[in-house]
């Protein structure tokens, strides 16, 4: 690792007059030389860095090497479904027929693109057991907001204005209550049982004529399948509410069971998680929203409709909740998901779910002798450890015990991305692992071996773990100070 390049700006590598090119005086040119009108000529130097090409190439290459991605190594970040994204998706999305299409082109000139949109929404409808999807929302959280707006429109349309509450389990992802609040709903929390599933008694207490609906993630953020779904859906429906499915964890049930069959009325899917689009650092994403039959009309515009084999764009109709994105959302992401779905095929869809569950359970079983497993038993695509076991340095009565943060930092030394840490909030030392189906057994075994080694180090050589990482470009940034005392400007080092 070239540490000297870390933290140096291209401006610091600049030398006056240095150029990345050389041009001949060009005595052969038959193009006459033109001078710009004086009014357009800059009077101050522009202040761009001046550097030779090798310096520029090395600077950016070294910077990219300081980064970590799915193409660099194993990325078991729980809740994020960081699966490998097949390169064919990129090739298809880069076809000029897609990239050079103007979003404002009349539908007549974009029939192929609209057909791809329509077929993608139909495949999603088939996989989820719902009637229709909009692909317009930009991300999971945006899909949540859109879906909740559908639920609100449904109640408003019936003149039922008293339904202002949304029920959300305490294990939910933070975007759930945030989206509900943005939608103007008030949040009612229900508790989880020790086995991680919803406490039905706690649910019954909050049901009533003011409930708009309930948001659920299944399997939930602990990777546990909510086996009481039919009962929960019945209770919520009986009191007049609708069931919202947070489909961020759709991965382990793809091709095996369907939210529509479980009693959900509205859901979103994170195309950038389940359907293999590169993501991280905030985007780009796509959060299609599906609804059961009877709710289609509320979906946002523009809507893609097919009439006699001809695709049209509906920009406004009587019932729609309106427009929630520009045009049809992040179209390039939809193309990637379509390519992935077609390359998997209907006959292989179930393998996505099965293999992601197998991989997660394999890691869990191999490591539970070293890390605390608060909820034992079969998990779905991900699971949560509650830090190291007592006999492996995780004894909290010892002030110098090894924490989940220490384990995550030490993992970086071995070229693995850390799992999600300190989420979900149900456990103090949460360490949430999601391997996804795209990893080979060799990769899983290598990860397991390192996790065991770290546990042994935490017992026998704790300083090694507590002072990690030892060979990454950055060590342990002070994240509290970074928040409280943020520095947004950079002072070049004097040379
Ligand atoms: C990722 C995630 C979300 C939010 O999705 P974004 O696309 O990041 O907005 C919501 N719920 C769960 C359970 C998630 O894992």
pLDDT tens-digit series, residues 103-126: 999 999 999 999 999 999 999 999
Give the pLDDT confidence score for residue 2 in this predicted structure. 42
Q: For residue 173, report the distance from its CA to the centre of ligand 1, in Å.
A: 7
User: Contact 444/355 with Cβ under 8 angstroms?
Assistant: no
C-alpha of residue 215 to centroid of ligand 1, in Å = 13
Question: Does residue 270's CB lie within 6 angstroms of at least one atom of ligand 1?
Answer: yes
pLDDT tens by residue, 300-328: 999 999 999 999 999 998 899 999 999 99
Between 493 and 271, whose confidence is greater? 271
pLDDT the model gives residue 474: 84
CA distances from 305 to 122, 146, 150, 186, 297 (A): 12, 19, 19, 35, 12
**pLDDT over threshold 80, residue 282:** no
What is the average pLDDT score of the chain? 93
Mean pLDDT over 56-80 rounds to 91
Q: Quick one: tokens of 26?
A: 């060009």
Any ligand 1 atom below 6 A from CB of 175: yes
Residue 266 CB partners (closer than 8 Å, separation 6+): 147, 148, 150, 151, 213, 242, 243, 244, 245, 289, 290, 291, 292, 295
171-227 pLDDT tens trace: 899 999 999 999 999 999 999 898 889 999 999 999 999 999 999 999 998 899 999
Q: What is the pLDDT of residue 58?
A: 93
Strand, coil or helix: 93: helix
Any atom of ligand 1 within 6 Å of the Cβ of 218: no
What integer pLDDT is reported at residue 196 of this predicted model?
A: 86
Decide if pLDDT at 276 tops 60. yes
**Residue 173 Cβ < 6 Å to ligand 1:** yes
Give the pLDDT band of residue 5 (cuts 50, 70, 90). Answer: very low
Element housing 444 (H / E): helix 441-460
Instruction: Say how far apart CA 373 and CA 371 lie, in whole Å.
Output: 6
Q: In the prediction, which pLDDT does 33 show?
A: 74
Given this model, what pLDDT does residue 490 score? 78
Angle between helices 140-157 and 175-182 (to 10 degrees): 40
Ligand 1 lined by 285 (C-beta under 6 Å): yes
274 Cβ below 6 A of ligand 1: no
* Ligand 1 touching residue 267 (CB < 6 A): no
Separation of CA 246 and ligand 1 centre (Å) = 8
Ligand 1 within 6 A of 330 CB? no
Probe ligand 1: pick from 138, 142, 169, 175, max atoms within 8 Å of CB?
175
User: Rounded mean pLDDT of 426-441?
Assistant: 96
Instruction: Count Cα atoms within 13 angstroms, Cβ side, for 1.
Output: 15
Taking CA 304 as the corner, what is the angle to CA 303 and CA 305, rounded to the nearest 5 degrees? Answer: 110
- Check if 216 has its Cβ closer than 6 Å to any atom of ligand 1: no
Query: How many Å lie between the centroid of ligand 1 and the Cα of residue 248?
Result: 5
Which of the listed ranges 35-39, 463-467, 489-493 does the model predict with the highest average pLDDT?
463-467
Which residue's CA lies nearest to atom 4 of ligand 1? 140
Confidence band for 35, pLDDT divided at 50, 70 and 90:
confident
Q: Which two tokens stand for residue 377?
A: 């038993």
Packing angle between helix 331-344 and helix 111-128, nearest 10 degrees? 60
Q: What angle do CA 420, 81, 468 make, to 5 degrees?
A: 30
Q: Does the structure show a pLDDT above 50 at 1?
A: no
pLDDT at 28 over 80: no
Question: Given pLDDT bands bounded at 50, 70 and 90, which one contains residue 152?
Answer: very high
Tens digits of residue pLDDT in 481-493: 989 998 888 776 6
In this structure, which residue's CA is closest to atom 14 in ligand 1?
248
End-to-end CA distance of the chain: 23
Residue 6 CA to chain centroid, in angstroms?
Answer: 28
Tokens 């329509």 label which residue? 118
Whether 220 is in the pocket of ligand 1, judged by its Cβ within 6 Å, is no
Tell me if 246 CB under 6 Å of ligand 1.
Answer: yes
Asked if 247 and 272 touch (Cβ cutoff 8 Å), the reply is: no
Ordered DSSP codes for 151-180: HHHHHHHTT-TT--EEEEETTS-THHHHHH
Lowest-confidence range among 66-70, 198-202, 398-402, 409-413? 66-70
* pLDDT over 90 at 424, yes or no: no
Pick the residue with more confidence: 20 or 262?
262
- 157 or 65, which is more confident: 157
Distance 393 CA to ligand 1 centre (A): 33
- Percent of the chain having pLDDT more than 90? 83
If pLDDT is split at 50, 70 and 90, which confidence band does 29 have? low
């Amino acid at each position: 690792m070239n540490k000297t390049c870390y933290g140096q700006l291209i401006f610091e590598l600049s030398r006056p007059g240095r150029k990345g090119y050389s041009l001949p005086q060009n005595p052969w040119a038959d193009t006459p030389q033109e001078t710009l009108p004086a009014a357009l000529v800059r009077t101050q130097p522009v202040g761009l860095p001046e550097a030779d090409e090798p310096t520029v190439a090395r600077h950016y290459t070294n910077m990219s090497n300081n980064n970590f991605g799915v193409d660099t190594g194993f990325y078991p970040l729980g809740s994020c479904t960081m699966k490998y994204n097949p390169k064919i998706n990129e090739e298809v999305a880069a076809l000029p027929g897609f990239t050079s299409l103007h979003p404002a082109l009349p539908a007549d000139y974009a029939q192929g693109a609209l057909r791809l949109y329509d077929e993608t929404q139909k495949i999603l409808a088939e996989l989820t057991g719902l009637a229709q999807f909009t692909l317009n929302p930009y991300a999971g959280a945006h899909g949540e907001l859109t879906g909740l707006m559908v639920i609100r429109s449904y109640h408003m349309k019936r003149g039922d204005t008293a339904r202002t509450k949304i029920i959300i389990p305490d294990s939910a992802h933070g975007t759930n209550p945030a989206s509900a609040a943005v939608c103007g709903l008030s949040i009612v929390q229900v508790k989880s049982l020790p086995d991680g599933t919803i406490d039905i008694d706690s649910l019954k207490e909050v049901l009533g004529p003011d409930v708009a609906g309930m948001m659920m993630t299944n399997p939930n953020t602990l990777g546990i399948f909510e086996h009481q779904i039919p009962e929960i859906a019945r209770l919520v429906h009986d009191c007049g509410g609708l069931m919202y499915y947070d489909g961020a964890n759709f991965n382990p049930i793809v091709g095996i069971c369907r939210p529509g069959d479980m009693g959900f009325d509205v859901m979103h899917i994170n195309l950038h998680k389940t359907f293999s689009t590169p993501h991280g650092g905030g985007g780009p994403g796509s959060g299609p929203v599906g609804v059961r039959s009877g709710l289609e009309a509320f979906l946002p515009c523009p809507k893609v409709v097919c009439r006699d084999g001809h695709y049209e764009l509906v920009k406004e109709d009587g019932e729609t909740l309106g427009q929630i994105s520009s045009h049809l959302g992040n179209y390039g992401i939809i193309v990637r998901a379509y390519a992935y779905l077609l390359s998997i095929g209907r006959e292989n869809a179930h393998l996505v779910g099965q293999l992601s569950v197998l991989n997660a359970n394999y890691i869990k079983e191999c490591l539970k002798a070293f890390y605390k497993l608060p909820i034992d038993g079969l998990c779905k695509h991900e699971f949560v450890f509650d830090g190291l076991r007592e006999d492996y340095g995780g004894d909290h009565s010892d002030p110098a015990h090894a924490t989940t943060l220490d384990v995550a930092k030490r993992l970086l030394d071995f070229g693995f991305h850390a799992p999600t840490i300190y989420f979900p909030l149900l456990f103090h030392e949460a360490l949430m692992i999601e391997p996804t189906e795209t990893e080979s057994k060799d990769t899983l075994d290598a990860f397991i071996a390192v996790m065991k080694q770290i546990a042994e180090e935490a017992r026998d050589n704790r300083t090694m773990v507590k002072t990690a990482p030892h060979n990454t470009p950055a060590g342990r940034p002070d994240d509290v100070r970074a928040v409280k005392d943020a520095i947004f400007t950079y002072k070049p080092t004097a040379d």
